[in-house]
Amino acid sequence: MSSLNIISLGKRLKELRESKGFMQREVGAIIDVDGAFISKIESSEKPINRNHLKKLSTFFQIDEKELQVLWLADKVNNVLKDEPYKKQVIQLINNDNL
C-alpha cells in the first residue's frame, strides 16, 4: 500500500532550503548535524528530532506549527504505512470519532 497523500516534513524542509538558496550543510549547522543527515531527512530516510523544529522554524522564518504538524503526520504515516486498514483509521481520525 502506498504512503498517505501528504507532503512529508523532509520534502517541505527541502522546499524551504532550496527556496532560500541554502546548502544542506548550512541547514545542518543550525541543528548540529552534517549535510548528509539533512539529505536523509529530506528524502525521508531518517526522521528528524522533534526538538530541532523550533530552530528550523526560526531559521526559515515560518510558523513552528507547520513543521510540528508535518512531523506528526510523518510519524502517523510511518506507523500506518503497512497496515491494511490505514484508510479507515485516517477516516476515523478525520471524523473525530475517537
Our count of domains for the chain comes to 1
User: For position 90, what pLDDT does the model report?
Assistant: 87
Instruction: Answer whether residue 1 is part of any domain.
Output: no
Classify the C-alpha dihedral 77-78-84-89 as positive or negative.
negative
CATH code at position 18 = 1.10.260.40
Instruction: Answer whether residue 55 is part of any domain.
Output: yes
Instruction: Answer whether residue 24 is part of any domain.
Output: yes
Cβ contacts of 27 within 8 Å, gap of 6 or more: 13, 17, 35, 38, 56, 59
Instruction: Answer whether residue 22 is part of any domain.
Output: yes
User: For position 98, what pLDDT does the model report?
Assistant: 55
Structural domain boundaries, residue 73? 9-94
User: For position 6, what pLDDT does the model report?
Assistant: 62
User: For position 1, what pLDDT does the model report?
Assistant: 35
Instruction: Answer whether residue 21 is part of any domain.
Output: yes
User: For position 66, what pLDDT does the model report?
Assistant: 96
Q: What is the pTM of this model?
A: 0.84
Instruction: Answer whether residue 76 is part of any domain.
Output: yes
Instruction: Answer whether residue 25 is part of any domain.
Output: yes
User: For position 34, what pLDDT does the model report?
Assistant: 96
Using 50 as the pLDDT threshold, list the residues of the chain that sit under it: 1-4
Instruction: Answer whether residue 3 is part of any domain.
Output: no
User: For position 3, what pLDDT does the model report?
Assistant: 43
* HEC string for 18-49: HHHCCCHHHHHHHCCCCHHHHHHHHCCCCCCC
